[in-house]
Structure 1
Amino acid sequence: MSVSIDPSLLLSNNTKTRSSGSNLGKDEFLKILMTQLQNQDPLNPMEDKEFISQMANFSSLEQITNMNSLMQKFLDTQKATDSILKYSEMIGKSIEWSDSGAEEAVQTGVVKAIKQKNNSIILELDNGKEITSDLVTKISQPE
């Protein structure tokens, strides 16, 4: 009886390097399971209990991976919300900033609204001007 091994499963053909230590992903787990099924001894096949246990492990791994992905999206959303909430305290406050144009003139305005654009916070002023939050040099109560 001749047993052949799928060449894609050989270590010499696998050029991907993993940086996450000894953690197996669902693709690696599935490849191992398929290899195990293909190369089992026909006179002593894998027990149903073993197969069911491994499939349950695979299902658990997939669910944990999905939960991790959803948790990461949730955390990213929280970071964005936290930034806007933090800067929302500036609404109604008078601010000063230095315009980095030709002359370093200090300008003032009252913050009317806050918005987020491309991972930076934009302050909308009562005069219609918009500036990024990193230009602010002073915050005070309006006069």
Structure 2
Amino acid sequence: MLDKISTSYQPISYSEIKKDSTVKSLGKDEFLKLLITELKNQNPLEPLDSKEYIAQLATFSQVEQIQEMRKELSVLSSINLIGKRAKATYEEKVFEGEVKGVVFDKSEISVILGDDEAKIPISNINEIR
């Protein structure tokens, strides 16, 4: 019989978590995989409580809604850049000029920058004036 469970852990502060770039957040796909794995491996004699299941589905729905809001906010923020001056580094070149437009690809937002109308991913913009 097991009398005692010993765990060895060392508490870490929030600032240490922020410094660690390997810490990832749980995305929609990972959450769904985790839920499916939990359902597949549950004890048939003690199935998941319906309240717990509903709570997990609600959490999944919230994660999905937050991701959608994040996309919409990115779109609105990028449209706001039109007409502003920006500086970007892309493929080891520096681009500078007025943002002429915005391009929405499948998973990336880019801006049309300068007189050359270079298509630059928004993540490569270093400065906005």
TM-score computed with the length of structure 1 as normaliser: 0.46
TM-score computed with the length of structure 2 as normaliser: 0.50
Structure with bigger gyration radius: 1
